[in-house]
Amino acid sequence: MTTLLVIAKEPLPGRVKTRLTPPYSPAQAARLAAAALADTLHAVLRCPAERRVLVLEGRPGDWLPPGIEVVPQSEGGLDERLAAAFEGCAGPAVLVGMDTPQLTSDLLAPALGPGAWRDHDAWLGPAVDGGFWALGMARPDPALVRGVPMSTPATGAAQRERLTSTGLSVGDLPMLRDVDTAHDAQLVAAAAPSSGFAAVLAELAAAGPASRGAGRRPAGGGRGELVSLAGVDVRPAHVAEMR
């Protein structure tokens, strides 16, 4: 069976979801990130997989459910960290990020079912912003990720080109929106109204703007948060906390 990887960053204020600030405070943005990560991990637990692995920058928190193996992220740019995550897999592997709390087992089913690798060598889940939220390989090869330009509107296309240029057949997962901005958050919550992410967003909305404080981003808070596979705070908008 397949190894299912989640690449993420510990949801600390000022370190994740920085593009939600404003209108949300860094602490509120971190709450939304934690909820999105928890939703993702619970979806992963409902998927058929040989291993379920969180590739984490930082320390686990109470958002981590039982049944998830945790390994540290490597150093380097996002492409290097994604490559290293795949390098640790002996067989087929699918990687997702923490920016898509609307994730369900049905959305990943084509890449995880018994016939997932019969007609395809790889799977790609495109994101609305041009990045990608999922990447799978029957025979994980770090070289197929390393050097792909991240954090651009063409990241998804570049990753697809890298895969197909070596002769691999690439299957498509559904396109998803990852949460980068407050507008994204509203649309994703509407798409997954029963998610923990939607519940936290509704709680913040009910509290009103006054509870958000100045909503200013702390100095040095980073450029942005993938791999539609990604709490990886490395890009302006283009790889689902994993771009």
- The answer to the question of residue 122 being in a domain is yes
- The answer to the question of residue 240 being in a domain is no
pLDDT band at 151 (very low <50, low <70, confident <90, very high): confident
- The answer to the question of residue 167 being in a domain is yes
- The answer to the question of residue 223 being in a domain is no
- The answer to the question of residue 228 being in a domain is no
99-143 pLDDT, tens digit per residue, is 999 999 999 999 999 999 999 999 999 999 999 999 999 999 999
- The answer to the question of residue 20 being in a domain is yes
CATH at 147: 3.90.550.10
How far is Cα 117 from Cα 119, in angstroms, rounded to an integer?
A: 6
Q: Within a 10 A sphere around the Cβ of 71, how many other Cβ atoms?
A: 13
How far is Cα 198 from Cα 60, in angstroms, rounded to an integer?
A: 22
Percent of the chain with pLDDT over 90: 84
Cβ-based neighbours of 176, under 8 Å, separated by 6 or more: 100, 102, 103, 107, 125, 126, 127, 128, 133, 228, 240
Q: Which domain holds residue 58?
A: 3-212
- The answer to the question of residue 27 being in a domain is yes
Q: How many domains does the chain have?
A: 1
- The answer to the question of residue 225 being in a domain is no
